[in-house]
Amino acid sequence: MYGHSPKLLAPPLAWGSKGIPVPYITPWSGERISVRTLTVRRDGTGLCYSDETPADRDAHGVLWSRLDEAPGRGTPNFRSVHPLRQRRALLEKLCQVCAGPASRTDRGWLFLFRRPTPVVEAWDWPEGVHCMKPPVCLGCAAIALRHCPHLTRTVAVRSRKPRPRGVFGDFYSPDATGSLVARSDGCIPYGHRDRPWFLASQLVVELRRCTVVDLDAELAR
């Protein structure tokens, strides 16, 4: 039996005159994308950075998008996520808002979703659902319910076995001049044949051994 997650250790960064909370995984305008060194490997078999380091690839050999680390600089982009912070939060089970430990009980880690349509629910949802949003702690779940416009019809799910399944990002290929061009975006599972030409920007996890829980009751406790 696991206890509930500890209380919020530190508040998330805030922005604007109203002090809107900014999640840990949110990128800021002062965090610049670094694509200038993206190129084709010398043997022509895929993407690489001309100044690549081991940190640019994950444990499955997938190349990841680069973005500066400067949270709080500029203005937040709530429509996007920071690649490194999103991946770290999912792998280490950190709260996507405050970066503290996510809530974990004997039913698993806590994830928040918008309520799906009845058709989706009929497909044994949420068991096996693919997710790109990291879990949350209980303190930040309450914050998210107050401030996030996408959680007006919230479903709280606990998963005992969230496991990495693949990545979301962009497919690249050289054009007639040899320059790299982003052709399309999408998700691929780890081990996909097009992995060498894929630049990841978000980790995708599959949630297993799921239970839909009463978030109001958990917050009340």
More confident residue, 96 or 36: 96
Pairing, β 63-64 against β 130-131: unpaired
Residue 211 near residue 107, CB atoms below 8 Å: yes
**What are the tens digits of pLDDT across the range 126-182?**
999 999 999 999 999 988 888 776 666 789 999 999 999 999 999 998 888 877 888
- What's the rounded mean pLDDT across residues 33-58? 89
**Nearest-angstrom CA–CA distance, 177 and 199:** 20
Residue 65 near residue 56, CB atoms below 8 Å: no
Average pLDDT, the chain: 88
The DSSP H or E segment spanning 112 is strand 108-114
**Nearest-angstrom CA–CA distance, 193 and 204:** 17
> What pTM did the predictor assign?
0.87
Cis peptide preceding 126, ω within 30 of 0: yes
**What are the tens digits of pLDDT across the range 91-109?**
999 999 999 999 999 999 9
- What's the rounded mean pLDDT across residues 66-87? 93
- List Cβ neighbours of 49 (8 Å cut-off, separation of 6 or more): 37, 38, 39, 56, 63, 66
What would the two tokens of residue 54 be? 């081991």
Q: What is the pLDDT of residue 6?
A: 39
